[in-house]
Amino acid sequence: MESKYEQVLGSKMHYIEAGHGAPILLLHGVPASSYVWRNVIPHLTSLGRCIAPDLIGFGKSDKPDIAYSINDHIRYIEAFIDALNLKHLTLVMHGWGSVIGFDYAMRHEDNCRGLVFYEAFLKSMEDEEAALPFCEQMARMQDEALVDKIMNTSYFVDHTIPESLIRKLTDTEMKSYQAPFNHRGAGKPILQYLSELPNGGDESISESLIARYTQKLQQSTLPKLMLYSLPGYITTMENVMWAKAHLPKLEIADIGEELHFAQESRPEMMGEMISVWLQGVDQYGA
């Protein structure tokens, strides 16, 4: 896959690209990068132009002196979409990337072909808690004693990624996730993410964003594919059942046993499920 850079709001954003045709934009979560999609994209290249950016401050993208708030990420991704002139795109979203993607889609439905989401922030935690392992892990990481480690080392990656996966990553794979955070100050985007995580009952910016797009998703006629794994990490079976009951034009697919990173343990299954769904999207008239 070709590695490219695009100038966005005064900074370079890195992305990988493969395939041709209608754009398929793959958005990663925290603390990942476009690297997480490397084994999924080959299953989709015959169906479109696959583009996986590194969020600003992550992967090989620049690290400008900004807050790295969720609104910053939304602003940079929207500018990235405009810079690449992506039209009628399919969004494939994971983790924190789903907050960015859902917000964009619900403000730009006319520029979207469909939505694919896995381990997503689908609705407010005021309505329902996330899975217990995720809540426990994030609570541990918000310990003030860890601020320096998270800010200046790969500590967050070292602990959260192995705890979020059933299979053990190779040393090469772990080093690829660790590399962007192996210098002082690189963890600033992670600390901001931790401070903005929705926690229910709190009128945070992220809670407000999620509540707004959740409402719109329930009226949206865009075709949707919800992927889930068991036991899951953010997504519970209650989330799956809620989506089935409330989201129009939704297909749901179980991609097997995993916590949070099926891209690592089941990329073939994930890629094939998205591929089959994409081939049927046109029947909805999207």
The per-residue pLDDT for range 142-176, each reduced to its tens digit, is: 899 999 999 999 999 999 999 999 999 999 999 99
Mean pLDDT lowest for which of 1-10, 131-140, 156-165?
A: 131-140
Structural domains in the chain plus CATH codes:
2-284 (3.40.50.1820)
pLDDT at 246 over 80: yes
Q: pTM (2 decimals)?
A: 0.96
Which residues pair with residue 116 across a beta bridge?
92, 225
Q: What is the mean pLDDT of residues 206-229?
A: 96
Q: Mapping DSSP to helix (H, G, I), strand (E, B) and coil, where does residue 93 land?
A: strand
pLDDT at 179 over 90: yes
Among residues of the chain, what percentage have pLDDT more than 70? 94
Cα 185 to the center of its chain, rounded Å: 23
- Four-residue CA torsion sign, 108, 97, 130, 243: positive
CA-CA distance, 133 to 93, in Å (whole number)? 21
